[in-house]
């Protein structure tokens, strides 16, 4: 079971979490719980570090910020004990959770499970702070922001858990954002690949890295809400959305007598910005001059299109970058102006990316054309297109985001019945 | 160097601390720094624990509260780095600081010094969170409130430090409370024994346990102020008060051509309460019935007097307990009323204990009589007396506290000259 910062924000909420954990343990299950820091706490600690040293040493940063999860782990163990459960906390260095590579963005290499399994077997609930581990030098390491989902999946893998239940402030994965489409449906299950694509295009239910790890380790993940009544459906009745392998997906569909949908979800992302470089020489290698410096600066370029040039031998190149990286990208390209040989940089943050995702489209043609037709019928102009095996994305004007999502939700037959 | 919670309260104050540390290191010294949590932080964490579980498990309590010093240790290391110093934090489990006995009131058994000494030798400033260690089971332990002074002395002993400088919000140990006596003088040095007596009678400059450890390990301690200007006297010029062995005290007096004072300090303590049990049977064993249950409940009884009884075969017994324990003491004694056989319990919190302390009185008679005469000349009534080898304490009416302290400060020739 994994609980995020909103669920851990204060002792009263921690008591609600403890009740959910107790109910699961009372079911006869051995339970390990991974917790985040109280909402706002990590920001507070990060700010302290910035104030102390703008160019902070990540090893000491880790010492400071890892304390947030240490506190909530201790408090949840105490609260569980007050409810009559056997419980203890296991800090990253105590299990230990071995990590590799850089501080502040470490990667879990291995979690020792002997002591943990023994403790679980004795009926003791294990409470484990997410986000933290210990480096090969014996120092505290952290996984980078949002790393607690990854911790939870790694712990689940280490103890060969039946399931990794990730409690969030939504009650599952929907066909699209329910704030935009009232008829959006909660899904019974989605595959790892679909979840990866949905996460990468802005449906931020789970941290992308955690989904990748779950896929690699074959951990069955359930996304469900921590804001439920005490007498709600227990987690074993799978009230949330399961994230599973394609094989299990087939089984689930068969068992529940459901048909596989062509498209599982429709995601939108308003955090991209468009960059146009005008009059780039239309010759081999020109595009490399543009994208190599961006890649080196870890700026993630998504959609790329080469417009037909106005003049012979020249072309306009359009692509998208995260809005947060736009200023940095612009500065980098300005530096390389001579090398690249463009005329002007035009930027536009007023765009949106709409993606339709579904494993089903692997074996079905026509998914993209349904999309293009549905959008054009409503007069929505497509500025760029990118595709993967299980995803089609288009760039449109930001003002048309909600309209596009609704149109597509209906076009792919995803609207819930009355 | 050790800094308390007031000195560590916020990144701006931590920067002041870092400047003091940098100045010491720039002197060519190898420096280890022990830090407390930010002022108020430990209270915040303790409250969380109480809210989570009124009868909290001390092992999990330790996990939660130890985080306060972890944060300040990381932040001071970061701040030192920002000033161009080499610095790193060493958490209790990293050195490790081995502790024994109960969680939440552990005792330091041993501090491993190999890695620490090597790091210090390489010119890296060590920043060590006070108050914390690791138990023999590999779990976080804490030393009890105020334990950071003890951590500092233990670290100083472990690395055989030349000196343990404890920075506080006062600039040394005075002949008495300067808020009461304007002519109180800061002392150049006091002995461990004097400091122990002064601490135990209410002059709370250092945690008593830390002074005991310093005496046992022969650590030279300096008490000095952390609120000094950057260009103030460096700590090596001993601007504070040294707490040392009697031998070193002799040396210091000789070198500075000073005479040993009969009385080093005058302390007052308003936190005691008086208890009178009337008409206790005046026979062997009666007193044991009174004090045994109090001792078992860890209630510290200080002064004891047996008044002459009104009736034959009966006596009144008067003693003092800490005010905080008064209600508990009263309930305990009420329970044992039949066994003890007293008539009434009379309590009085409106009392004060005044103590004169000095190693010099070991070899000089007349210290006590000077005290009694000086107080009686001013009409101050002495309700009880207790003495040790280097201390005389009297119990008086609380309203006369300040008067008594001033009278005695003058009587023992402690007033500073104009």
pLDDT at B308: 63
Q: Which domain holds residue A82?
A: 2-255
Percent of chain A topping pLDDT 90: 69
Is B176 contained in some domain?
A: yes
**Gap between the Cα atoms of B350 and B131, Å rounded:** 34
For residue A124, being part of any structural domain is answered with yes
Inter-CA distances, B262 with A90, A215, B256, B353, B390, Å: 56, 79, 17, 20, 10
- Note whether residue A345 is domain-resident: no
pLDDT at B202 (0 to 100): 64
Neighbours of A108 (CB within 10 A): 23
Within 8 A of B88 by CB-CB distance, chain A residues are 59-60
The Cα–Cα gap between B340 and A121 comes to 52
Q: How many domains does chain B have?
A: 1
- For residues A61-69, average pLDDT: 97
Span A261-316, pLDDT tens digits: 889 999 999 999 999 999 888 877 778 889 988 988 888 888 888 766 566 788 88
Contact state of B63 with A91 under an 8 Å Cβ cutoff:
yes
Element (H, E) at A211: helix A208-217
Of A4-13, A300-309, A379-388, where does mean pLDDT reach its minimum?
A: A300-309
Average pLDDT over residues A74-89: 98
- Under-50 pLDDT residues of chain B: none
User: Hey, are the CB atoms on B78 and A60 less than 8 Å from each other?
Assistant: yes
Q: In the structure encoding, which two tokens stand for residue B180, read together?
A: 């009461």
Q: What is the DSSP string of A326-373?
A: HHHHHHHHHHTHHHHT-S-EEEE--EEEEEEE-GGGGG-S-HHHHHHH
Contact list, B74 vs chain A (CB under 8 Å): 49, 60-64
Q: For residue B277, is it within any domain?
A: no
Q: Which pLDDT does position B35 carry in this prediction?
A: 98
Structure tokens at B250: 């002799």
DSSP string, B218-277: T--EEEEES---TTSPPGGG--SEEEE-HHHHHHHHHHTT-PPPS--EEEEE--EEEEEE
User: Is A93's CB within 8 Å of B93's CB?
Assistant: yes
Residue B360's pLDDT is 84
Predicted pLDDT of residue A235: 76
The tens digit of pLDDT for each residue in A109-134 reads: 999 999 999 999 999 999 999 999 99
Residue B242 half-sphere exposure, CB side, CA atoms within 13 Å?
22
Q: How far apart are CA B60 and CA B66, in angstroms?
A: 10
Whether the pLDDT of residue A89 is over 80: the answer is: yes
Place of tokens 């976080």: B140
Number of neighbours of residue A27 by Cβ within 10 angstroms: 11
What is the phi/psi pair of residue A368, to 5°?
A: -65, -40
Residues of A in contact with B79 (CB under 8 A): 52-53
Q: Quick one: pLDDT at residue A202?
A: 64
Closest chain A CA to residue B138 = A94
Asked whether residue B87 is domain-assigned, the answer is yes
Q: How confident is the model at residue A101 (pLDDT cuts 50, 70, 90)?
A: confident
> ipTM higher than 0.90?
no
> Pick the residue with more confidence: A395 or A101?
A395
Question: Facing residues of A167 across strands?
Answer: A3, A224
Asked if the structure places residue B280 within a domain, the reply is no
- Look at residue A200 and tell me whether its pLDDT is greater than 90: no
Tell me how far apart the alpha carbons of residues A318 and A276 are, in angstroms, rounded to a whole number. Answer: 4
CA of B67 vs chain A CAs: smallest distance (Å):
5
Cα A192 to the chain's mean position, in Å?
A: 12
Question: Pairing mode, if any, of strands B351-357 and B265-269?
Answer: antiparallel
Q: Is residue B232 part of a domain?
A: yes
Residue A325 confidence (pLDDT) above 60: yes
Chain B residues contacting A, CB < 8 Å?
Answer: 11, 14-15, 45, 48-49, 51-57, 59-64, 66-67, 70-71, 73-79, 81-82, 88-89, 91, 93-94, 138-140
DSSP code, position A411? H
Q: Determine, yes or no, domain membership for A196.
A: yes
Contact indicator for A392, A385 with CB cutoff of 8 Å? yes
pLDDT band at A63 (very low <50, low <70, confident <90, very high): very high
pLDDT score of B364? 77
CATH of the domain at B244: 3.40.1160.10
Place of tokens 């204060």: A10
Residue in A with minimal Cα distance to B81: A53
Q: What is the pLDDT of residue A12?
A: 96
């Amino acid at each position: 079971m994994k609980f995020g910062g909103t669920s851990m924000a204060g002792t009263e909420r921690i008591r609600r979490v403890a009740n959910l954990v107790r109910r699961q343990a009372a079911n006869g299950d051995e339970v390990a719980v991974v917790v985040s820091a109280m909402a706002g706490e990590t920001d507070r600690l990060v700010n302290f570090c910035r104030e102390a040293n703008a160019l902070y040493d990540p090893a000491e940063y880790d010492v400071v910020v890892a304390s947030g999860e240490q506190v909530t782990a201790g408090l949840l163990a105490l609260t569980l004990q007050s409810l009559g459960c056997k419980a203890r906390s296991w800090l990253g260095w105590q299990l230990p959770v071995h990590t590799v590579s850089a501080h502040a963005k470490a990667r879990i290499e291995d979690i020792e499970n002997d002591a943990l399994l023994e403790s679980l077997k004795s009926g003791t609930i294990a409470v484990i702070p997410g986000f933290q581990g210990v480096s090969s030098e014996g120092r505290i390491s952290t996984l980078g922001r949002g790393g607690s989902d990854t911790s939870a999946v790694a712990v689940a893998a280490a103890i060969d858990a039946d399931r990794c239940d990730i409690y969030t402030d939504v009650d599952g994965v929907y066909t699209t954002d329910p704030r935009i489409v009232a008829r959006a449906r909660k899904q019974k299950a989605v595959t790892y690949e679909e979840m990866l694509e949905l996460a990468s295009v802005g449906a931020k239910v789970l941290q992308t890295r955690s989904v990748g790890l779950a896929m690699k380790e074959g951990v069955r993940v359930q996304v469900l809400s921590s804001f439920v009544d005490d007498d709600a459906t227990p987690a074993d009745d799978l009230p949330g959305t399961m994230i599973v392998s394609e094989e299990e997906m087939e089984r689930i569909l068969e068992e529940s007598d459901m048909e596989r949908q062509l498209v599982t979800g429709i995601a939108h992302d308003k955090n991209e910005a468009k960059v146009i470089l005008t009059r780039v020489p239309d010759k081999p290698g020109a595009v490399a001059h543009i994208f190599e410096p961006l890649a080196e600066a870890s700026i993630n370029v998504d959609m790329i299109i080469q417009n037909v040039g106005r003049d012979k031998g020249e072309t306009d190149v359009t692509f998208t970058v995260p809005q947060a990286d736009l200023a940095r990208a612009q500065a980098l390209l300005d530096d390389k102006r001579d090398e690249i040989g463009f005329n002007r940089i035009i930027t536009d943050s007023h765009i949106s990316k709409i993606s339709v995702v579904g494993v089903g489209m692997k074996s079905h043609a026509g998914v993209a054309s349904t999309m293009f037709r549905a959008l054009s019928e409503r007069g929505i102009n497509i500025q760029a297109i990118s595709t993967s095996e299980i995803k089609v994305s288009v760039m449109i004007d930001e003002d048309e985001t909600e309209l596009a999502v609704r149109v597509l939700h209906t076009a792919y037959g995803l609207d819930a019945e009355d």
